[in-house]
């Protein structure tokens, strides 16, 4: 494995809204209690598209955060 693979930040979240072109609004849980969390835009990873993995509203997903902005790549569907 290269160093870039080890430094990627993964996080979990819940799908709130399904958008066109395999885009999703995902809520990341907040560290503070009482807050709903942050909504980010996420897209499906290539392997998930290749194997036709369905992601629906309410699913828990694992994502790799983009280091440059508020986007993420969904790499695993947990439930």
Cβ neighbours of residue 14 under 8 Å, at least 6 residues apart?
26, 27, 29, 58, 59, 60, 61
Residue 3 has pLDDT above 60, yes or no: no
6-23 average pLDDT score = 89
pLDDT digits (tens, 9 = 90+) for 18-57: 999 989 999 998 777 667 788 999 999 989 999 999 999 9
Residue 5 confidence (pLDDT): 56
In the chain, the number of structural domains is 1
Instruction: Assign residue 47 the CATH number of its domain.
Output: 2.40.50.140
Write phi, then psi, for 28 (nearest 5 degrees).
-95, 130
> Which residues form the domain of 22?
3-77
Residue 4 has pLDDT above 80, yes or no: no
């Amino acid at each position: 494995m290269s160093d870039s693979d080890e430094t990627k930040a993964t996080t979990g979240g819940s799908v709130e809204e399904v958008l066109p072109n395999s885009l999703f609004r995902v809520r990341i849980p907040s560290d503070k209690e009482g807050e709903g969390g942050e909504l980010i835009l996420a897209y499906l990873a290539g392997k998930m598209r290749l194997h036709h993995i369905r992601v629906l509203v309410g699913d828990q997903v694992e994502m790799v955060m983009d280091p440059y902005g508020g986007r993420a790549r969904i790499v695993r569907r947990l439930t």
